[in-house]
């Protein structure tokens, strides 16, 4: 029998803000233990929560970017449970009236190879709600230590429908969410800093069966690759259990990235009784069109929309868009140059993807610190197109430009890279090359076009790499015609 997996993801994303969601103290990563606490975070008697407007703006913007409905009214509920990471003994969250309903996330699946774009599809969302993050526990041999720095951080929970079927789709889903959140400036989604976390619900059923199988909740998926690997492992495990005639029991499992296996954490027999009820300390949120429209206007062109436009407007290949588009800053940089000369967009894209990114990463600086600005890129594209310098020399020029911040012309002038000979000299070199190399000449005349390359190589050598290859090609062909 054939089986298929059904996967739903719960993605937690911290909303970037200076202060916490209900407390006035600072929020962030990398501080000393309990430096970001105050009476509200610690749940001290009499402390009252007050909403942070920026957290609301963040989630509404996220919802609008993901096509959610933003209901007029949403409210806050208490989810009651005892755990040391939550000093109030309840989490403020949203139970039945979340800020965002529905929605969908466009994902891009891997293509047949890295150079080929894979299928695009939309994964349905159930909802997105806002809640306060919990503290962090560190376990030791005989006790555990609690740091409340993370507690009270604004946290969105993006809940998907059971609408994915493979680890690859889950990977693409998280990648897309992360790109959109970063594009919109809602979150940096750094999983190493806990700014984005994911749990997966995974079940397997015989292909064709409508009803879902018993599901396993998989936790501890600490990276996007971890999500993919953990889910793939769990699908294989459940499928093999079912094939052996065993049943799956609803439970929570964890992914062990080091061992590359999943293991059971706890059974679901005692379903938690969270006793949700409306939080009496917080007033509901009312959203009107003016608010929705203001945030909608702040949403930039999203990555996949941008990719489609780059295909159309600039005729860029996927090999370039797939590198440029995921990084908004890089895309804006490219576009600034491409808009100066839309017809040269491909050559500009190539320089950005190959030379610029290489130099930036080698030197280890941010793109914004690069001395080469978009007009510089265009200056280099133009001198290559005019045939002033060859592509090979252009690479050298680029490195110089990157160091000094000069334009291509300035570098060429300073380093004397301009050809110090005229076209008739090139013709002489071509004639010499033909006279000195009878074998390739013969071979070319016999119909082997590739033989021309060795002649061209000789001419390039004579010109110390400065001759324009197209010119050389044309002259040799004329001479041998």
Partner 1 sequence: MSDKPKIDIDYISNLARVALSEEEKAAYSKDLSSILGYVEKLNELDTDGIEPMAHPYPVYNVWREDKVESKMSPEKAMENAPASRQNMVIVPKVVE
User: Is 56 or 64 the residue whose CB approaches partner 1 more closely?
Assistant: 56
User: Is 108 or 279 the residue whose CB approaches partner 1 more closely?
Assistant: 279
Please report which residue ranges of 341-420 form alpha helices under DSSP H.
Answer: 345-350, 357-363, 374-385, 391-404, 408-415
Q: Coil, helix or strand for 91?
A: strand
- Burial class from Cβ neighbours inside 10 Å (0-12, 13-18, 19+) for residue 32 reads exposed
**C-alpha distance from residue 140 to each of 86, 137, 144, 145, 387 (Å):** 19, 10, 6, 8, 67
Give how far the C-alpha of residue 313 lies from the chain's centroid of Cα atoms, to the nearest Å.
23
User: Is 56 or 65 the residue whose CB approaches partner 1 more closely?
Assistant: 56
Q: Which residues pair with 107 in a beta bridge?
A: 121
Write the DSSP symbol of residue 95.
S
Write the DSSP symbol of residue 40.
T
User: Is 63 or 419 the residue whose CB approaches partner 1 more closely?
Assistant: 63
* Residue 91 Cβ vs partner 1, minimum distance, rounded to whole Å: 15
Token reading at 304: 């996949």
User: Is 149 or 468 the residue whose CB approaches partner 1 more closely?
Assistant: 149
* Residue 128 Cβ vs partner 1, minimum distance, rounded to whole Å: 19
* Residue 71 Cβ vs partner 1, minimum distance, rounded to whole Å: 13
Helix (H) or strand (E) holding 220: strand 216-221
Quote the Cα angle for 352-358-360, to 5°. Answer: 85
User: Is 286 or 371 the residue whose CB approaches partner 1 more closely?
Assistant: 286
* Residue 81 Cβ vs partner 1, minimum distance, rounded to whole Å: 9
Helix (H) or strand (E) holding 167: helix 167-183
Residues 88/137, Cβ–Cβ less than 8 Å: no
Write the DSSP symbol of residue 451.
G
User: Is 55 or 459 the residue whose CB approaches partner 1 more closely?
Assistant: 55
Tokens 């790109």 belong to residue = 179
* Residue 320 Cβ vs partner 1, minimum distance, rounded to whole Å: 38
* Residue 190 Cβ vs partner 1, minimum distance, rounded to whole Å: 20
Residues 82/89, Cβ–Cβ less than 8 Å: yes
Q: Coil, helix or strand for 272?
A: coil
CA torsion, ordered 466, 470, 473, 478, to nearest 10 deg: -120
* Residue 296 Cβ vs partner 1, minimum distance, rounded to whole Å: 19
Q: What does the alpha-carbon distance between residue 115 and residue 178 come to, in Å, rounded to a whole number?
A: 22
* Residue 138 Cβ vs partner 1, minimum distance, rounded to whole Å: 7
* Residue 136 Cβ vs partner 1, minimum distance, rounded to whole Å: 9
Nearest to 219 by CA among 192, 167, 254, 195: 254
User: Is 265 or 365 the residue whose CB approaches partner 1 more closely?
Assistant: 265
User: Is 138 or 209 the residue whose CB approaches partner 1 more closely?
Assistant: 138
- Sequence-distant (6+) residues with CB within 8 A of 90 are 78, 79, 80, 81
* Residue 328 Cβ vs partner 1, minimum distance, rounded to whole Å: 22
User: Is 25 or 345 the residue whose CB approaches partner 1 more closely?
Assistant: 25
Return residues touching partner 1 (CB under 8 A).
17-19, 23-26, 32-35, 37-40, 42, 44, 50-56, 73, 75-76, 80, 82-84, 97, 137-148, 265-266, 273, 275, 278, 280, 282-286
User: Is 134 or 331 the residue whose CB approaches partner 1 more closely?
Assistant: 134
* Residue 12 Cβ vs partner 1, minimum distance, rounded to whole Å: 16
User: Is 138 or 470 the residue whose CB approaches partner 1 more closely?
Assistant: 138
* Residue 182 Cβ vs partner 1, minimum distance, rounded to whole Å: 19
Tokens 């190589």 belong to residue = 457
**C-alpha distance from residue 258 to each of 193, 317, 476 (Å):** 19, 37, 60
Q: Hey, how many other C-beta atoms are within 10 angstroms of the C-beta on 389? A: 23
Q: What does the alpha-carbon distance between residue 212 and residue 225 come to, in Å, rounded to a whole number?
A: 25
Q: Coil, helix or strand for 177?
A: helix
Q: Hey, how many other C-beta atoms are within 10 angstroms of the C-beta on 116? A: 11
């Amino acid at each position: 029998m054939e089986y298929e997996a059904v996967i739903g993801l719960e993605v937690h994303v911290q909303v970037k803000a200076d202060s916490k969601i209900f407390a006035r103290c600072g929020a962030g990563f990398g501080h000393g233990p309990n430096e970001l606490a105050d009476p509200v975070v610690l749940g001290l008697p009499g402390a009252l929560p007050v909403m942070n407007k920026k957290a609301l703006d963040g989630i509404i913007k996220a919802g609008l970017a993901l096509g959610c409905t933003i209901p007029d009214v949403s409210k806050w509920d208490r989810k009651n449970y005892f755990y040391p990471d939550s000093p109030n003994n309840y989490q403020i969250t949203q139970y039945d009236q979340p800020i965002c309903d529905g929605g969908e996330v466009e994902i891009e699946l891997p293509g047949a190879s890295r150079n080929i774009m894979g299928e695009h599809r939309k994964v349905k969302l159930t909802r997105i709600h806002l809640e306060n993050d919990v503290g962090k526990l560190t376990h030791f041999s005989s006790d555990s230590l609690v740091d409340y720095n993370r507690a009270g951080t604004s946290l969105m929970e993006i809940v998907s429908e059971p609408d994915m079927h493979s680890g690859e789709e889950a990977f693409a889903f998280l990648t897309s969410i992360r790109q959109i959140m970063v594009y919109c400036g809602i979150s940096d989604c750094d999983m190493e800093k806990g700014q984005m976390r994911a749990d997966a619900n995974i079940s397997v059923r015989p292909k064709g069966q409508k009803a879902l199988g018993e599901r396993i909740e998989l936790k501890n998926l600490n990276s996007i690759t971890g999500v993919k690997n953990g889910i793939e492992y769990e699908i294989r495990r459940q499928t093999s259990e079912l094939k052996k005639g065993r049943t799956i029991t609803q439970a929570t499992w964890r992914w062990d990235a080091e061992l590359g296996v999943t293991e059971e954490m706890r059974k679901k027999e005692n379903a938690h009784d969270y006793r949700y009820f409306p939080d009496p300390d917080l007033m509901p949120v009312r959203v009107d069109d003016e608010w929705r429209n203001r945030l909608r206007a702040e949403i930039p062109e999203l990555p996949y929309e941008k990719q489609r436009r780059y295909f159309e407007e600039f005729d860029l290949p996927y090999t370039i868009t797939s590198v440029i588009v995921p990084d908004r800053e890089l895309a804006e940089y490219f576009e600034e140059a491409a808009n100066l000369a839309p017809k040269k967009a491909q050559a500009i894209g190539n320089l950005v993807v190959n030379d610029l990114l290489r130099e930036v990463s080698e030197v280890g600086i941010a793109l914004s610190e690069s001395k080469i600005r978009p007009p510089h890129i265009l200056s280099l594209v133009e001198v290559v197109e005019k045939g002033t310098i060859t592509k090979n020399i252009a690479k050298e020029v680029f490195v110089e430009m990157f160091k000094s911040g000069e334009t291509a012309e300035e570098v060429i002038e300073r380093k004397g890279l301009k050809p110090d000979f005229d076209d008739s000299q090139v013709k002489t070199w071509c004639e010499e090359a033909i006279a000195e190399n009878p074998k390739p000449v013969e071979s070319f005349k016999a119909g082997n076009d590739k033989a021309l390359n060795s002649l061209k190589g000789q001419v390039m050598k004579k010109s110390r790499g400065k001759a324009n290859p197209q010119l050389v090609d044309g002259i040799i062909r004329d001479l041998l015609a």
